[in-house]
Amino acid sequence: MAATSRKDFIAAIASTVVQVSREGAILLPSVRLAQCLLETGGVIHPWYNLGGIKANGVPNKYWHGDAVVKGTWEHVDGRNADMKAAFRAYSSVYHYMKDQELLLAKPRYDRVKAAGTPEMQAQMLRVCGYATDPSYESKLISIINQYGLQQYDIVASSAPVDRPSLTGPLKGAAAAPILRNGLVVSNGWRLSGGTVWVPVRKLGESLGGAVGWTGTKATVNGTELDTLLDVRTGYVAVRSLAAALGMQAVWEQQTGTVTLKK
């Protein structure tokens, strides 16, 4: 999957970056977006590693041990040296970003965690040795300023517009990111019984479905679906929505995510 421009790349991954930030991320959205663009040149590869994380260490719930060998370069003894290295491969951009958060939670990156501004975080990523490029910090800051990426810091600090009310039928539901083609396309809400509910119009139409309303139930491509109505937003079970669109909804217990597949 490749973005046609740097702006397209930023737009493609922004919702995933914001979702991870809202879940309590260390890295600010502006810094993460800049880093992803710098590390990849604006291309989303099928292995979804947007930050150059090497394939060492112990697998976890976000990284299952898969790897790809790619050409890279490191700054060694004052010069750039070409080499090959094994990089972690992920099932989605979301999985990569959550795995990166586990990396940044290590004591080595305490100064990144303590940094309160994009500029300070960019500096501390270099100081703590995330990359060997001595210009890493200035490159990140330049990208942040060029594309106005601080706007995503503001977006991530606000509540999502499709969050259910605190007193409606989805009261107490846990957030469950909905993934498609490696990216977060919506937020679902999982009730204690296990069903994940999603905003039918927003998600259904974004996936090419024809969404209607009978007065009591939402319809997707002409199929009536059981609907929970909360503050004028209709929610349907993600598996029912997927079936009406000719797709599958795959639940991943470890990460609390749903992946939509054809």
Residue 99 known to be catalytic: yes
Residue 119 is inside which H or E element, if any? helix 118-127
3-class state of residue 13 by DSSP: helix
Residue 13 to residue 250: CA distance in whole angstroms: 21
Task: Please name the residues in contact with 165: beta carbons below 8 A apart, sequence gap of 6 or more.
Answer: 171, 230, 231
Active site residue 137: no
Which 8-state DSSP code applies to residue 2? B
Radius of gyration of the chain (CA): 20
Determine contact, residues 42/33, Cβ cutoff 8 Å.
Answer: no
- The catalytically annotated residue of 77, 82, 99, 110 is 99
To the nearest 10°, report the CA torsion of 6, 161, 199, 176. Answer: 80
Catalytic residue among 8, 74, 205, 226: 74
∠ CA 11-13-19, nearest 5°, is 115
Give strand pairing partners of 75: 80
Give catalytic residue positions. 74, 99
